[in-house]
Amino acid sequence: MISTAATTATTTSYTTLDSPLGELLLVGEESPTAPGGTALTSLTMPQQRGAATVQPHWRRDARPFAEVLRQLRAYFAGELTRFTLEYRTAGSEFQERVWQSLETIPYGTTTTYGRLAEALGVPRGDVRALGAAIGANPLPILRPCHRVIGADGTMRGYTAGVERKTALLTHEGALQPTLI
């Protein structure tokens, strides 16, 4: 995945995608290096904390998102396990480092907040800051924050709801489906 720091773009576009998690809102900015000419800046789900909302100056246009849409559909169909897209996010240096580290967690696996903190060299006392950075991830699913769980195996908070975190981990085979 290519990640670039946020810069002022001339055009912000958006589109939506119906998914098993509800309607996803995709937002991107012009980029000469991104497939379709748009680098993804945000992916949000219904009722997600801090979700992006469509702004009057944004342009609705699915065309620049063709590759993003293709990869998301393939992911939900079980045909794709790693995204290769260009992102443009605007987090602090610490947030960007945390978000990029999420991409190293393999599909179908999980890690704990403590293990991720250790891998990043974050002191134990700052694990809360790590959790806050994970919670501020503007690209859930793509930067798989759902793969970070509690040390006891519990599904800690997820910005789009624990039920979606559980659904994503079940989809990836990291959890067994619940039988009723």
Catalytic machinery residues: 145
What is the b/e burial string over 31-57, where b = at least 16 CB atoms within 10 angstroms of the residue's CB?
A: beebbbbbbbbbbbbeebeeebeeeee
Q: Is 50 left (phi over 0), alpha (psi -120 to 50) or beta?
A: left
Distance CA 106, CA 172 (A): 10
Check: CB of residue 13 under 8 Å from CB of residue 59.
yes
Distance CA 180, CA 103 (A): 33
In one letter, which amino acid is 164?
A: R
Helix (H, G, I), strand (E, B) or coil at 169: helix
